Amino acid sequence: MKMKQIGTTTIDDFGRVLLQSEIRSMLGWQVGSQVDVYYADGNTALLQLAKEPRHDLCDICDEAERHITIKGINICKGCTENILQLSSFKLV
């Protein structure tokens, strides 16, 4: 990945990093957008616009298959079958 510097900013007293409107506009980022922060080394980090969570995926295997939802967790048929198989084992 080739990177180029597009601005300089300062960390404020609350630890916030301001991205000027020109930079946000260039990136297409909106106020309130969620951003993932990746560590590269002691002097380098990378900001990446977080992906919108997909609510139609199984939370275990990420397959876009029909699923059931138990307490807010989406579980597809295949994973449900795996869980049922595991439940046949006796816990010691």
Work out how close the CB of 51 gets to Zn ion at its nearest, in angstroms, rounded to a whole number: 18
Work out how close the CB of 7 gets to Zn ion at its nearest, in angstroms, rounded to a whole number: 41
Q: Are 65 and 76 in contact (CB under 8 A)?
A: yes
Task: Please identify, using beta-carbon distances, which residue of 19 and 76 lies nearer to Zn ion.
Answer: 76
Work out how close the CB of 82 gets to Zn ion at its nearest, in angstroms, rounded to a whole number: 8
Q: Are 63 and 78 in contact (CB under 8 A)?
A: yes
Which residues contact Zn ion (rule: CB under 5 A)? 58, 60-61, 76, 79
Q: How many angstroms separate the CA atoms of 53 and 48, rounded?
A: 14
